Copies of this chain bind each other. A is one copy, B any other.
Amino acid sequence: MPDSPTGLRPTPPPSRYGSRPTMKDVAARAGVGLKTVSRVVNGEPGVTAETESRVRSAIDALGFRRNDSARILRKGRTASIGLVLEDLADPFYSPLSRAVEDRARANASLLFTGSSAEVPEREQELVLALCARRVDGLVIIPAGDDHRYLEPELAAGVAVVFVDRPAGHIDADTVLTDNAGGSRDAVAHLIAHGHRRIGFIGDQVGIHTADERVRGYRQAMEAAGLPIAAGWVSMGPTTPERVRVEMARMLGGSEPVTAFFMGNNRVTVTAVRVLADCPRPAALIGFDDFELADLLRPGVTVVAQDPIRLGRTAADLLFRRLDGADEPPRRVELPARLITRGSGEIAPTVV
């Protein structure tokens, strides 16, 4: 087409969004009724083979794809679920995501994922956006500690499962790791290897997993009748800098620790670096397994969670609800497992 008559906008920008063909278009082209097309598209019975093939040709010729927004609007169920976690890129959560995804797939559902970055407002924003999309269910690794905003969704029948940390002020299915138990096992293991002065470095107070892990540490020390000196427990941001400072402090002084129990794998990795440069060997156990822990020298003993099982269990609970299970909310606690590799079996150095 030549220049426009007005001479103003030479050519109107070509409409990028070529409108898609609808069932109506297919019906017109195939010379059948709209409902017949719907039947073919959805594999419903009651269509002659001949009619069906006419419809299929029209579908292919036009490149028709059913518009699921309209379908969802009509049917109610969206066949999609949402997963909100702290960080998609965190190696601990990615197997969990994958497990949830596998279950979603098995249940013919699509999966929305989103990272809250530990910011409660972002969690809520994401969750509500997913609710507006009318996801059938939600798997949430909570960043916030008040989930009352979900009450309308629960009332409307949206299935919600919390993972890794409990929900706040709301009664819903929850899948947790036995953090305290795992920590008890780890610390008891160090004690069994002769350690009496054991340091703990964990995440910020207030984070559920962090709190539970110190709790397990204290329980194990107490059960063994061991005192805990003031400086042996350190909670705070898990930056390498802080961890280095705290380790140096605990390794110095008149009552140096001979072993460390670390509250998460970020801290553990920093600890490995510190101990590599440390003249006096100290034992080390970390909470959470990490890749290549067995390749290091010594191998790093850890208390491992099972992120795949965590995700699978959560998704199973979710789909059980979606299948109509009408039981009170459950709280499932999965065990953590001690994996010995060497670093946790180092005997205390006599001072």
Contacts and interface: CB of A to CB of B under 8 A. Distances in A.
Interface of A: 13-14, 16-20, 63-70, 72-73, 76, 78, 80, 87-91, 94-95, 97-98, 101, 105, 110-115, 128-134, 151-153, 155-157, 269, 272-273, 276, 290-292, 295-297, 324, 326
A216 to B, nearest CB: 26
A249 B115 CA distance: 46
Contacts of A128: 65
Contact of A155 (B18, B130, B131): B18
A170 to B, nearest CB: 14
Determine how many copies of this chain the complex contains: 2
Given A113-B101, A129-B110, A67 B17 contact: no
Nearest to A102: B115
Nearest to A159: B16
Contacts of A295: 269, 272-273, 276, 292, 296
Nearest to A325: B16
B110 A14 contact: no
Nearest to A149: B63
A111 B110 contact: no
Contacts of A18: 155-157
Nearest to A131: B65
Contact of A110 (B20, B97, B130, B153): B130
B66 A69 contact: no
Given A14-B326, A70-B73, A114-B111, A88 B98 contact: yes
Contact of A73 (B69, B78, B151, B155): B69
A133 B80 CA distance: 10
A13 B115 CA distance: 36
A83 B312 CA distance: 21
A98 B89 contact: yes
A88 B311 CA distance: 13
Nearest to A155: B18
A97 B78 CA distance: 23
